[in-house]
Chains A and B, each alone.
Chain A
Amino acid sequence: MMKNISKKGNKRPLIKDIRRDKWLYIFLTPIMAYFVIFKYLPMLGTIMAFQNFKFSTGFFESEWVGLEHFKRLFTGKNFYMILRNTLLLNAGSVLFGFPVPIILAIFLNEVKSRTFKKVTQSIMYLPHFMSWVVLGGILIGLLSPSSGIINHILKNVFGIQPIYFMGSRFWWPITFIISGIWQGAGWGTIIYLAAITGIDPQLYEAARIDGAGKLKQIRYVTLPCLKSTIVVMLILRMGSMMDVGFEQVYVMMNPAVRDVSEVISTYVYRVGIEGAQYSYTTAIGLFQSAVSCILVYTTNRISKKVNGEGLW
């Protein structure tokens, strides 16, 4: 530990500061070591995308194969399936899911009754604290074609034949998107509510004097004030366009809908971990990271041009 400290103090004026903060450096040393080993080493480890990594030969002895895995990736038809599913599920989630917390937050802000507000918020946040295993289990029970209540209602009240929500290639993505909203939209309101609270009340006052009703106040005061928050959230969301949460898909997936539900993360798990094709799936991960970077960068550029503001 002491070695580490003196290494950083190679410039003379620093020594005093370092001696003063020696405890802070003692605190930080194991933590930075942790970050190097458990975060940065795996990043370096992505090099194995250019190898034929095997545990028997290890990282240093494994055979180098250049772009072999990438070639296999881009020519295989599985790749286009998982890429399409990942992008479509994300696009659907953004299109239908992204506006929901914004609308809910604006609505919550209009509620005068404190009890009503508290109760609705508490219930809305609840699914966020549940594991997807639990949420998935609940959904499967609820939507089951044989015993689920939804299909019973559809049959008895509307006379509709049971719908295989989890087993139909049409309904599965819809169920996926709605369950994502169920889990995340309530919790997502917090950030917008915080932003709304920060709006200067004088702006509303001025709008009211100008004769603006509630709707116009929202249109001309609330939304413009929320714009920068919305833009930041959207850019951050773009960064995860290539990434569909593993657990949500994994618990909702079944063989009947594999070709619309297999996404990058589940494919990497199935082929990489279960199939032990470490290098090939690392290549997929690398491709995924690269595209995410480009997406964040591009959205940021577009946002800067259109709105004059971005993340950086």
Chain B
Amino acid sequence: MAKQVKKAVKVKKSLEEKIFLVVVYVVLTLFTICALYPFLYVLAVSFSSSRAVGAGEVVLWPVEFNVEAYNQLLLDGQIFASMKNTILLTVVGTFLNLVTTTLAAYSLSKRNLRGRKIFVGMIVFTMLFSGGMIPNFVLIKSLKLMNTYTGLWLMGLISTYNLIVMKTFFEGVPESLSEAAAIDGANEPTILCRVILPVSKPVIATMVLFYAVGWWNNYFNPMLYLSSTTKFPMMVKLKQMLDTAKMIEVSSSEGLVQTTVAAETFKAASIMVVTLPIICVYPFLQKYFVKGAMIGSVKG
């Protein structure tokens, strides 16, 4: 009731504001639907019969529900084999990222560290300039790291952006905390593990997520540096499978039409399998992502 009275006072503005609010909600709703719909469509296709997909009957819900495409994926087994590789790459990679980024960020967050400016300058400079694709490739090849996970882990060891985010966070931790521990005779590794890390859980969560998603989605580096198919992570495998399906489509003659459309549900199912883990954890972890982006943007 009180709200209505307030509104009545502002009769003049209310029309303009109402129209504006309608526009706001309509635009946001439309954008959200457009952003979400493609995912729902793929989900529906993956559970539909290939006939229904070919006839354009699948719009939002599965038509002639079946799990044939997923059965086929299980039989094929490649995507699950490559998922193991991705998990290995992600777990080890994220762990290495975390250790190195924390050590670097913690050291560089100490304002009275001699040479700090030079180190930070050297690191930030790599955000602006890089050798580029070919010199990196030549380096990895010269170090004999081609077709090894070690090469991939080293290539992605530290993201400068994440390092800056973490450094900014550490700079905000009250110095009195570590000073108190130092007076008690604790050395830096102890202070870092016992005092700083326990109060840094949110930023660590953010880092784990940023890095883990990066490894999970990593396509370019594995494609560039790995050559044996048994080592391929999921995204490289998925791209291969999508390309094969595309080729069938391009060369489709009368007899192949059935396979073409079957390929469509197969493709959708493989996309779902690859994406599902992210979609499952995403709603719970979203706030950490946003927090990380905020810390980063304040600095930027």
Residues of A within 8 A of B (CB): 8, 14, 17-18, 21, 23-25, 27-28, 30-32, 34-35, 37-46, 48, 53, 55, 58-59, 103-104, 107-108, 110-111, 116, 119-120, 122-127, 129-134, 136-142, 144, 146-147, 149, 151-153, 155-156, 182, 185-187, 190-191, 194, 213-215, 232, 236, 239, 246-247, 250-251, 254, 265, 268-269, 272-273, 278, 281-282, 285-286, 288-289
Q: Quick one: which of B129, B136, B218, B283 has the most chain A CB within 10 A?
A: B129
Q: Which of A40, A53, A131, A138 contacts B219 (CB 8 A)?
A: A131
- Pick the 4 closest A-B CB pairs, nearest first: A42-B131, A152-B56, A23-B188, A45-B135
Shortest beta-carbon distance from A149 to chain B in Å: 6
- Chain A residues with CB under 8 Å of B213's CB are 129
- Extra 16 A-B pairs, beta carbons < 8 Å, given A23-B188, A34-B100, A129-B278: A21-B114, A27-B188, A34-B154, A39-B131, A111-B25, A124-B32, A133-B239, A137-B267, A141-B42, A141-B45, A146-B261, A153-B56, A190-B290, A213-B13, A215-B16, A268-B132
Q: Which of B27-55 contact A (CB under 8 A)?
A: 27-29, 31-32, 34-36, 38-39, 41-42, 45, 53-54
Is there an interface contact between A21 and B224, defined as CB atoms closer than 8 Å? no
Q: A137-B238, A273-B224 are in contact. Are A42 and B130 (CB under 8 A)?
A: yes
Is there an interface contact between A141 and B239, defined as CB atoms closer than 8 Å? no
Q: Summarize B's interface: helix, strand, loop or mixed.
A: helix
Shortest beta-carbon distance from A68 to chain B in Å: 16
Q: Which of B52-102 contact A (CB under 8 A)?
A: 53-54, 56, 58-59, 100
Is there an interface contact between B294 and A190, defined as CB atoms closer than 8 Å? yes
Q: A21-B110, A134-B275 are in contact. Are A282 and B119 (CB under 8 A)?
A: no
- Chain A residues with CB under 8 Å of B104's CB are 27-28, 31
- Chain B residues with CB under 8 Å of A254's CB are 246
Q: A122-B286, A273-B134 are in contact. Are A110 and B103 (CB under 8 A)?
A: no
Per the bound structure, the CA–CA distance linking A285 and B134 in Å amounts to 8
- Chain A residues with CB under 8 Å of B106's CB are 24, 27
Say yes or no for B195: interface residue by CB 8 A criterion.
Answer: no
Per the bound structure, the CA–CA distance linking A256 and B249 in Å amounts to 14
Is there an interface contact between A137 and B242, defined as CB atoms closer than 8 Å? yes
Shortest beta-carbon distance from A301 to chain B in Å: 17
Q: Which of A120, A132, A265, A285 contacts B32 (CB 8 A)?
A: A120
- Chain A residues with CB under 8 Å of B24's CB are 107, 110-111
Nearest CB to that of A236 among chain B residues? B300
Is there an interface contact between B110 and A24, defined as CB atoms closer than 8 Å? yes
Is there an interface contact between A17 and B114, defined as CB atoms closer than 8 Å? yes
